[in-house]
Structure 1
Amino acid sequence: MQHNPVLEAIRQRRSIRRFTPEPVSLAEIEAILDAGRWAPSGLNNQPWRFLVVRPGEPRQDALARHTKYAHLVRGAQALFCVFLDREVVYNRAKDLQSIGACLQNMLLAVHALGLGGVWLGEIINQEPEVTRALGFDERSLELMAVLAVGRPDQKGSSERKPLAELLLEPLSLADE
């Protein structure tokens, strides 16, 4: 297959859990948010809502208190809290899938910008307490994940199962 930057980014992106103290710029933050907003959503309802928390803000401590990954929250140079807007939900399963696509777009943007990031999903075990600690009404917003982002201070690594192990049926050449 010929060189494709999107496919390469998908294969090269890794979860980064250690960051340098160098800040993430406003332009980089906006680029990451913009990538998230361009994710597909059913009926184009765009059910995601974003909160960006920067180092030193009181909400950084609030997030750290609600996760076993407090060291990641405290080390990040930008935290992207992604919420589901309960008031625009039309089909929960589809909207959750859309949020997943939004998060993946954001992580690919992080990678494309030369930054590092990690998807913190464990923090939703404390949802709705986290939403309230951030100052929002859990009846309107539901925290889906937090992305911890910064300049990488480590190399990421990952393994994947062979495709054959994941297929329910083998691929057929007759399909071409």
Structure 2
Amino acid sequence: MPAENPVLTAIRERRSIRRYSDDPVSREEIEAILEAGRWAPSGLNHQAWRFLVLRRDDPRRAALAGLTKYAHILERAQVLICVFLARSEMYHPMKDHQGAGACLQNMLLAAHSLGLGAVWIGEIVNQEPRVTEVLGLNPVDLEMQAVVALGHPDQKGSADRKPLSALLLEDIS
């Protein structure tokens, strides 16, 4: 990968961060992350994603954390961004879910670019009906996609990747 390309560098260097300091995340940083999500590609440009931001003082956080085996991450994060799809805006389940994934990746890259740490908590969708209930949302209107936990990193991330050759179905000619 070209070392001087900031987008490719950010993709390569971004890591899932699961421990955070007590330093607050500013409203401007949260808005920048949400804007990055908003600009993700979506099928037919429906932009079906919807966001719910929970700060540390939001009483719904404890109930939300109780619905995942990753409660310790949600409890320690400065901010949680709950990502949903508006069912009325969806037109094709697979394409809308792919768009939500692009939205989430944009937000993770934005957080990284701002010097913040974040992790995509997808396991929580196993409790989708209870999630919408504890958040006071209508499950008929919204489909849970993930929670992004974020804050100032209190750890270094690490990750390995398989070599590209192990992922190719055919050699690049």
**Which ranges of structure 2 fall in alignment gaps of 5 or more residues?**
none
CA distance in structure 1 between the aligned counterparts of 2:130 and 2:87, rounded to whole angstroms: 16
Q: Which amino acid aligns with 1:86?
A: R
Matched, 1:17 2:21: no
Which deviations, in whole Å up to 9, do the C-alpha atoms of 1:55-105 show, x marking residues without a partner? 021111121111111110110000000001101111111000000000000
Matched, 1:111 2:112: yes
Displacement of 1:3 in angstroms is 1.2
Size of the alignment, in residue pairs? Answer: 172
Task: Kindly name which structure, 1 or 2, has the bigger radius of gyration based on alpha carbons.
Answer: 1
Tell me the residue number matched to 2:83. Answer: 82
Displacement of 1:132 in angstroms is 1.2
SS in 1 for 2:21: coil
TM-score normalised by the chain length of structure 2: 0.98
CA distance in structure 1 between the aligned counterparts of 2:124 and 2:83, rounded to whole angstroms: 12
Tell me the residue number matched to 2:38. Answer: 37
Q: Which amino acid aligns with 1:56?
A: D
Tell me the residue number matched to 1:159. Answer: 160
Displacement of 1:25 in angstroms is 0.3
CA distance in structure 1 between the aligned counterparts of 2:144 and 2:112, rounded to whole angstroms: 23
Tell me the residue number matched to 2:67. Answer: 66
Matched, 1:127 2:128: yes
Tell me the residue number matched to 2:56. Answer: 55
SS in 2 for 1:127: helix
Which deviations, in whole Å up to 9, do the C-alpha atoms of 1:111-153 show, x marking residues without a partner? 0000000000111110111011100010100110000000000
Give me the CA root mean square deviation: 0.7
TM-score normalised by the chain length of structure 1: 0.96
Identity of aligned residues (%): 64
Matched, 1:8 2:9: yes
**Which ranges of structure 1 fall in alignment gaps of 5 or more residues?**
none
